[in-house]
Amino acid sequence: MDVITPAQCRAARALLNWSQPDLARRCGVHVQTISNFEHETSTPTKTTLTRIALTLANEGVELGKHDGVKRKSSDIATFKGKEGFALFRLDVLEAAQRDGADICISNLDERLFDKWGEGDVNDNYRNAMAEIRKTRPGFKFRSLSKKGDTHFSAHRHSEYRWVDPEQFGEFPFYIYGTKTAMILFERDNIEIFVINHPVVTGFFRAKFEKDWSRAEQPDTPPNTF
């Protein structure tokens, strides 16, 4: 499955009234990369395609079937499958790089995140987050998992605490910037619904802070914060 096609890239730029240099600047890639992609003379790396698609998504462009594009009708974005998970990872990372961020995750089972981002997606994300944590004073990344779970895949950048099993929810929610993501893991698919609304996110952030204040500090390494 393509992250974005050349036709969608051209159509999305037209929808936003952007030139190729406009898109290249916002994506942080060379303008020739955009030109070659749209003229189908070369294909960028999957990481670059993901960055292009995410940049357009953040401007309210939704990529559809059969090379279609349209403006989103709401402040809710949906990501599906491994390609969608890669887009989501990049969105969180860019928020952390841009805003500093106080990132919070509830109802976390890292094994599911390991599965859907296996390989470069998770490796690049976790390495970048670890670097942000080392270089940005005040950066916070906190995760609530089920009591007894010691699978701390993100221990280089995340602090973990435990909640009792009866308080552990059915699906994780992920707070970053003004966005709240609700993540539904299925056997053969993943769907991520991202709400970009400060009031909604404020509600979930307040709930997280309350749960965090009551959560238990694990005594199992590598939780060494």
Q: How confident is the model at residue 224 (pLDDT cuts 50, 70, 90)?
A: very low
Does 60 have pLDDT greater than 90? no
DSSP H or E stretch at residue 181: strand 179-185
Does 181 have pLDDT greater than 90? yes
* Strand pairing category for 102-108 and 140-146: parallel
Does 131 have pLDDT greater than 90? yes
Q: What are phi and psi of 42, to 5 degrees?
A: -160, 160
DSSP string, 134-173: HHSTT-EEEEEEETT----TTTTT-EEEEE-GGG--SS-E
> What is the chain's mean pLDDT, rounded?
89
Give the 3-state secondary structure of residue 209. Answer: helix
- Average pLDDT over every residue of 168-197: 92
- Average pLDDT over every residue of 46-51: 87
Q: Shortest CA distance to 84 belongs to which of 53, 44, 130?
A: 53
Q: What pLDDT, on the 0 to 100 scale, is given for residue 221?
A: 61
Query: Which of the two residues, 144 and 63, has the higher pLDDT score?
Result: 144
- Average pLDDT over every residue of 111-118: 94
Does 72 have pLDDT greater than 80? no
The residue assigned the tokens 């605490």 is 161
Q: What pLDDT, on the 0 to 100 scale, is given for residue 211?
A: 96
Query: Which of the two residues, 54 and 189, has the higher pLDDT score?
Result: 189
Does 125 have pLDDT greater than 50? yes
Does 184 have pLDDT greater than 70? yes
- Average pLDDT over every residue of 40-56: 89
Domains of the chain (ranges; CATH) run 6-71 (1.10.260.40), 76-214 (3.30.870.10)
